[in-house]
Amino acid sequence: DIFGHVASGQADVGVVPLENALAGSVHENYDLLGEFPVSIIAEAYLPVELHLMSLPGSDVGHIQQVLSHPKALEQCSKFLEERATLSQVICSDTAGAALEVRRRGDASLAAIASEEAAQEHNLQIIARGIQNHAMNATRFVAISASPNVEAKADKCSLLFTLPHQPGSLARILAAVAGQDGNITKIESRPMPGKPFEYAFYLDIQAPLDSQDCISRCIEAISGSAASCRVLGRYRAAPPLF
């Protein structure tokens, strides 16, 4: 819905998660980036602390079902594995899981979500900070129907396909290295209708002293790839850790 609203002009900007420090890539959003005519215009890394919450007066021993987004469940896998009797219920987002627990009014249900969600829906946090590691963060990107034209953009995201030949990916990576580009992310996704062939998503960050590095990297990749689409040029967000 977010991608569709942005692409159609119903929304000026959408914000979607692309990867989490513990659970990895949000594959469906990578696929949607390739499907819709949108551009990444900004990125941000946000710290994530996840809590188990239920109706006031409940406790962990009474919980039978846990509701949350699948990536949040993955981020709390150790906590859930230690409580194997808990059944996991998939929700579209963490805040929606908290809302559903409040709406159903069942003390045997709990949600994994943020402290803000607990406050918003008057839920009690019954287990704090249950993510697998304290250093947890999610990378979000802002998408727009129009590309960013900021002159100081020092990062870009690309989607490209390769000729089905030995060494084709190695040549792309070497070309980026030859232009001093720093590859911060590479993701392969299957191509519909082409079994066991893949499209590649690549994030490249330029060094501080090289204003034209991104343009040179795009040119080098375009010259070797079967197809290449620039998904966005934007300013790199500062790391959290």
Active-site residue numbers?
138, 140
How remote is the C-alpha of 66 from its chain's centroid?
A: 22
Do the Cβ atoms of 108 and 63 come closer than 8 Å?
yes
Q: Say if CB 138 and CB 118 are below 8 A apart.
A: no
Over the Cα atoms of the chain, what is R_g?
A: 21
Burial of 40 (0-12, 13-18, 19+ CB in 10 A): buried
- Give the tokens for residue 180: 């001093």
Short-list 112, 141, 97, 122, CA closest to 49: 112
The total of other beta-carbon atoms located within 10 Å of residue 161's CB is 17
Neighbours of 29 (CB within 10 A): 17
